[in-house]
Structure 1
Amino acid sequence: MTMTPRQRAVYEAIVHGQRASGPQHFPLLDSQGRLQGPFGLMVEVPEVGDPLQELGAALRYHTALTAREREIAILTVSRCTASNFERYAHEAVGRAIGLTDPELTALREGTFTTPDPREQAIATLSEHLTLRPVATPGDLPPAGILDRASVIEITTLAGYYRTLAQLMGVFDIGAPELAE
């Protein structure tokens, strides 16, 4: 695919940005150098794709959520949206940051529970926001479990990954290992 300068800039931001600077738990590119998952779509319409990939990088690398909390939220959204690519990608990330195989299975099946009230609240809120995207103060966990900033981060994260799931659904983009 011949890219415009704007498309090339988005491609480079994804391939050489924060996503590529640390350990790679899933490949961003296929064997022919094409971006996998939602990233190729971001390049197609750079006016939307660039802010979208920047938001994704902010959610992955610049929130107060721990890596474990973030992956619990992402994997909950991936289950609720049936997003095979996000499940594929973030189970690999989750495994790398310490989620156990039984926890990954429970997140995939919707049976995840944890004795940590904050992690449980994040999973519950992520599911609520994905299945019923309007939440009210009454839908939040009891006071003291999640602070206001965490609720904002989780709400934004759920919306972002829901958007990616919708984009990939429209264009029938699945997980590489499931597509073969």
Structure 2
Amino acid sequence: MIPIRALLAGCLLLLCWSQSAPLLAAEWKSNLPQARLLGQGSFSWFGLPIYSANLWAVSGEDVFARPFALELTYQRQISRERLVQTSLEEIRRMQGAAVDESRMQRWAQEMHQAFVDVQAGRQITGVYLPGQGARFYVDGELRHSVADEPFARAFFSIWLGPQTRSPALRLALLGQDQ
């Protein structure tokens, strides 16, 4: 027979443990206390699901004027290197001739610090802070902060800029797909 104190202690530990996961997952939300889910969508490549996306913001008007969070939940395994390279390719594509390669090298270093190898279920959330830069969270925990506004704007434009490769996802994230 299990002593009542041991049973109560075990229940208390289980309760504390179960409550810590939601708090941890919400760490990035302290940057955006007024944010609400603005829109959501998913991205597939040749029919293969890559990730689902949620945009948390105060308003959809001029999204880059206020802080927001872009939450990506991956549905397959992708290396950190591939995430960085794909992000750089998209930024280069959108910036065209205006690309500064020394800046791109600095940004690649920042992304290497911010990202991890992902597998199905892993979540990376980027928080855009106007005039400051960005913070990146992996599965709810702060991984890296980038104090570079041009980087933050260029990075989040991959999804939210007018030249995005996926205009339907952009509209869904901005809540304009109706």
Q: Which structure exhibits the higher relative contact order, with contacts defined as CA atoms closer than 8 Å and separated by 6 or more residues?
A: 1
In terms of fraction of residues, the more helix-rich structure is 1
Q: TM-score, normalised by structure 2?
A: 0.27
Q: TM-score, normalised by structure 1?
A: 0.26
